[in-house]
Amino acid sequence: MILNEILKEKYRTQKRLSDGCENIHEYFVKSHVSAQVVAEKHGIVLNYKKLSNKSKILKESI
């Protein structure tokens, strides 16, 4: 089944990204870098939403 192969690849990717990470921030950084590499390889431009002031306040309080 195709879905099983997709899930297997997803779990392999998550495992590869989490190996060597000591915290969630490192995992996010590795994920972001991997996404940028794939996007460049396929000619895709990644656009990110800018945080509003409310979001920044919530982020700072965490």
pLDDT at 3: 77
Comparison of pLDDT for 3 and 40, the residue scoring more: 40
pLDDT at 58: 55
Separation of CA 21 from chain center: 13
Q: In the chain, what are the domain boundaries?
A: 2-61
Distances (CA, A) of 22 to 13, 17, 35, 38: 17, 11, 20, 24
Are the C-beta atoms of 18 and 27 separated by less than 8 Å? yes
Nearest in space to 44 (alpha carbons), one of 52, 54, 35: 35
Q: Give residue-wise pLDDT tens across range 11-61.
A: 998 888 888 888 888 988 888 898 899 999 999 999 887 767 665 555 555
Are the C-beta atoms of 34 and 17 separated by less than 8 Å? yes
pLDDT at 44: 93
Residue 9 pLDDT class (50, 70, 90 cuts): confident
Alpha helices by DSSP H, the chain: 2-18, 24-42, 53-61
